[in-house]
Amino acid sequence: MSEAPDLFDAESRALLAARTAFGEEGDGGAHRHALGELLTAYERLLRETRRMVRRSDRAEFEMNQLNQRLQDLTGQLEYRATHDPLTGVLNRAAIIERSNRHLASGSLALIVLDIDHFKRVNDSFGHPVGDTVICGVVDCLKGVAPAVAQIGRVGGEEFTALLPGVSQEVAAQAAEQMRKAIAAHDFALPDRSRVTASFGVSWQAQGSGFDAAYGSADEALYQAKRRGRNQVARAALVEA
């Protein structure tokens, strides 16, 4: 028979003693004593086992908590790396990454918009008021954007909406809804003036990239600004 492990030394000894006592012609007292020793040894073993189970439960609980915290922190880090802290929409890096990902598997319509004469808002009422206008514009965009749209802030007062698999025609209609929503919104500026934005809309076939999509939408946006602002301009379509 193999040797008993150290952990069970006391129990093994008690068991051996009990076997010996019961194997011999002993008196009742010796048997009772051996049984008592055995019982004590096994009660101790039971107590030790329960203590170890409790300790292992505690360790498992703590490990699960640490795991959860790690997952939360990873999620927070990922969120910060991909979102604009002021408005909560996607940041420039995330917009570039998603545009390229969409264009690798299909077409992409891209809307770029820029708040008109935004410098005046900052200069007249201060930066914090400018920030509330930026947030208000994002709220307007979210309110009317199609479900498929992914909204991002790519510059100070410049935003994009990605519309994967959507035609330029439909994207231009969505941009027009956005334009109307901003123009109709009361931004509660001290002089009661309205806020407007200009839009450029591009469409790229599968295989293109963010630079081409953004470049042509930005060119169209520039046209919208030149033509008097508060309007939507479409980029010339480039066939694949």
Ligand X SMILES: Nc1nc2c(ncn2[C@@H]2O[C@H](COP(=O)(O)OP(=O)(O)OP(=O)(O)O)[C@@H](O)[C@H]2O)c(=O)[nH]1
Site mask, ligand X, residues 217-236, x = CB under 6 A?
A: --------x---x-------
Separation in Å, CA 211 to CA 14, 82, 216 = 81, 18, 8
Judged by CB, which is closer to ligand X: 127, or 192?
127
Instruction: Determine how many CB atoms are found less than 10 A away from the CB of residue 42.
Output: 14
Smallest distance, ligand X to C-beta of residue 149, A: 22
157 is catalytic: yes
Residue 3: which residues within 8 A CB-CB, separation 6 or more? Answer: none
Judged by CB, which is closer to ligand X: 130, or 164?
130
Residue pair 214/160 in contact by the 8 Å Cβ criterion:
yes
Residue 122 interacts with ligand X (CB under 6 A)? yes
CA distance linking residue 98 with residue 79, whole number of Å: 14
Query: Tokens standing for 129?
Result: 């008021």
Q: Phi and psi for 208 in degrees, rounded to 5? A: -80, -170
Q: What are residue 145's DSSP bridge partners?
A: none
Residue 114: which residues within 8 A CB-CB, separation 6 or more? Answer: 155, 157, 158, 159, 197, 198, 221, 225
Catalytic residue among 60, 62, 157, 239: 157
Q: Which of residues 142-181 bind ligand X (CB under 6 A)?
A: 156-157
Smallest distance, ligand X to C-beta of residue 163, A: 23
Judged by CB, which is closer to ligand X: 28, or 85?
85
Smallest distance, ligand X to C-beta of residue 168, A: 23
Selected from 87, 110, 130, 202, the binder of ligand X by CB under 6 A is 130
Selected from 37, 84, 116, 218, the binder of ligand X by CB under 6 A is 116
Tell me the catalytic residues.
157
Residues in contact with ligand X by the rule CB under 6 A = 114-119, 122, 127, 130-131, 134, 156-157, 225, 229
